[in-house]
Amino acid sequence: MGRDTLTGSRIRERRLMLGLRQAELARQVGISASYLNLIEHNRRKIGGKLLLNLARVLAVEPSMLTEGAEVALLASLREAAAGLPRPIAELDKPDEFAGRFPGWAEVLAQQQQRITGLERIVQTLSDRLTHDPQLAASMHEVLSTAAAIRSTAAILAEPGELDPEWRDRFHQNLNQDSQRLADSSRLLVSFLDESDTGDERRGVPQEDVDRFFADAGYHFPALEQAKPEAQPALIAEVIADASSLLSEAARLIAREALQQYCADARAIPLEPLQDILNARGFDLDHVAHRFRCDMATVLRRVGLLPEAMLGQAVGLVVCDASGAILFRKSAPGFILPRFGASCATWPLFTALTRPQEPLRRQVVQHSRGDHGYECFAVSWPHRAIGLDRDPLYRAVMLIVPSKEVAPQAQVVGASCRVCSYNRCAARREPSLLREEF
C-alpha cells in the first residue's frame, strides 16, 4: 500500500492517544470538524500548512504522520491477536509480519474489521430488540400472524370433510394471513437492514444523527458562510460525506436538522450574535429583540454555538407534541435518556402546554444536587395554521449549567425507570433504584 494512504488514520490515532475531541482539534487548526472527519477517514489528502499545523497540535513530527508505521493496519493486527482466547501470536512483531506479508496482513486486518462490525451489529440489534417499541411491535405482528396461519392450516389438515362454505372461508383467511405475514416480514427486514449495498447494517437513525452532529461539534461554518441559494447543494454534500449517517432515514433526519440550522443562522448572523453574548451574556430577550425573531430561533441558535464562543458547554433538546425527542445535545452532568420517555417535569414539556410562551426555570436533577441548571424553553408551531388545519407544535429547551444550585430549583429526573425520586407526582412506573440512590 502507498505510504501516504493512511495519513488520516495516523492523525486519528494520535488524537485519540492525546484524548482530544475531533471538534477541539479542528478548532485549533482552523478547519471544520466535518472536514477533519473526512481527513481522518482518508477521504481527503492533506499537506503543506495544514499538515504542519496538525503535527504541531498533535506534538509530532510531520514525517510521523506521512511516513510512519501504518498505524491502522498494525492496530487491527494487534486487536485480532488480543481477541483470541489465549495469546498464541507474537504480539510484539506485527510490523515485521506486515512488512514481510503485506497482502496477508491486509486480509487479516479486514477480517478483524468485519468481525468487529458484526459484533457491533449484534449489540445494536440486541439493544433495539430490548428497547425499541417499533421493532417489538413488528416482531409481535410477525409471530402473531405465523401462529394464526399455523392454526388455520391445522384445521384444514384434520381428517374428515369440511363444509364447503367453511373450507372456502378458511382458505381465504389463510391467503390473507399469508399476505400479511409476507408484508410484515418484508417491512421488518427493511427496518433492520435498509440496503444490501452498504458496508455496514444500520443503527438507530436518530442515534446516527446525534453522532453526526457531535462529530461536527454542532457547528457548520461552511453552511453559515454560504449564500442561501447555495446552501441546499452544500447540505447535500455534507450529508453525502458523513460517514456516521449509515441509513437513508438518518440522512433524511439530518437534512431537516441542517435546513433548520441554516434558517436559524440566516435569522441570527454569527458575528453580531457573538458581540451581544460577549457584552451582555445570556440576555436572550435582547437577542430576540435585536434580530426581530422568535424565542425558539434564539434558543436553537444559541444552543448550537461553539463552546469557545459561549465560554461554557450548554445543552439543547427538541421534541414534538408527542414528547418524542427529535434532537439532543447533552449539557455537562445533565442526564438525557438514550431509550424510553424522558422526565415529564422538564420545562421542555411544560412549554408544550403553553404555546409560544417562553419559560425560564432553575432545575436540579434528583440525586445530583451539586449540578444546577438554568433552563429556557418555548414551543412553536412547526407548520402554518389554517381554518381546517390544526397546529403542530414542537418545543425546544436550552440547558445552561449554573455555578450553584438555586434554593428554589425545581427537582427533575431523567426517566422514571432510572429516577429514585419516588415522591414525584409525575411518576408513571416504578423505578429500578431505591430512594437512597
Q: Each residue of 371-400: pLDDT tens digit? A: 789 999 999 998 777 788 888 999 999 999
pTM of the complete model: 0.57
8 Å CB contact between 73 and 104: no
**What are the residues whose beta carbons fall under 8 Å from the beta carbon of 307, sequence distance 6 or more?**
313
The 10s digit of each residue's pLDDT in 151-175 is 888 887 877 777 888 888 888 888 8
Beta pairing, strands 315-320 & 393-402: antiparallel
Q: What is the mean pLDDT of residues 324-334?
A: 89
Q: How far apart are CA 413 and CA 336, in angstroms?
A: 9
Residues 397 and 423: their CA atoms lie apart, in Å, by 25
**Residue 436, φ and ψ in degrees, nearest 5:** -65, -15
Nearest to 365, CA basis, from 333, 395, 397: 333
Highest mean pLDDT (candidates 101-115, 193-207, 270-284): 270-284
Is 39:8 a contact under the CB 8 Å cutoff? yes
Which of 34-38, 83-87, 364-368, 427-431 is predicted least confidently?
83-87
pLDDT of 89 = 59
pLDDT range class, residue 230, cuts 50, 70, 90: very high
* Whether pLDDT at 268 is above 90: yes
Could you tell me the pLDDT band of residue 199, with boundaries at 50, 70 and 90? Answer: very low
Contacts of residue 280, defined as CB under 8 A and 6 or more positions apart, other chains included, come to: 286
- pLDDT tier for residue 254 given thresholds of 50, 70 and 90: very high
pLDDT at 40: 85
| Sign, Cα dihedral of 160, 164, 168, 173 | negative
Flag whether pLDDT at 86 surpasses 80. no
* Phi/psi-derived region of residue 19, left when phi > 0, alpha when psi is between -120 and 50, beta in every other case: left
Rounded Cα–Cα distance for residues 335 and 248 (Å): 29
pLDDT above 70 coverage of the chain, percent: 80
User: In the predicted model, what is the mean pLDDT of residues 54-75?
Assistant: 71
Q: What SS3 string covers 342-382?
A: CCCCCHHHHHHCCCCCCEEEEEEECCCCCCEEEEEEEEEEC
Q: What's the pLDDT score for residue 286?
A: 93
- Which three cell numbers mark 97? 509480519
Residue 73 has pLDDT above 90, yes or no: no
Write out the DSSP string of 379-416: EEESS--BTTB---EEEEEEEEEESS--TTPEEE-S-G
What is the Cα–Cα distance from 95 to 73, expressed in whole angstroms? 9
Q: Of 52, 72, 74, 73, which is closest to residue 63 (Cα–Cα)?
A: 52
Q: What amino acid occupies position 280?
A: R
pLDDT band at 100; cut points 50, 70, 90: low
pLDDT at 119 over 80: no
pLDDT of residue 148: 83
CB-based contacts of 120, cutoff 8 Å, min separation 6: 200
* 374 contacts 400 by C-beta, under 8 angstroms: yes
Task: Enter the DSSP assignment of 418.
Answer: G
Average pLDDT (261-283) is 91
SS3 229: helix
Mean pLDDT on 322-349: 86
- Of the candidate ranges 47-61, 75-89, 265-279, the one whose mean pLDDT is the lowest: 75-89
Q: How far apart are CA 342 and CA 345, in angstroms?
A: 9
Residues 6+ apart with CB under 8 A from 409: 362, 363, 364, 372
Mean local confidence (pLDDT), 418-426 = 78
Please report the pLDDT score of residue 164 as a whole number: 83
Average pLDDT, the chain: 81
pLDDT of 396 reads: 96
Q: Where are the alpha helices (DSSP H) in 268-346?
A: 270-280, 284-291, 295-303, 307-310
pLDDT band with cut points at 50, 70 and 90 for residue 129: low
> Is residue 200 predicted with pLDDT exceeding 60?
no
**pLDDT (0 to 100) of residue 417:** 73
Cross-strand partners of 376: 360, 398
Cell triple for 356: 409560544
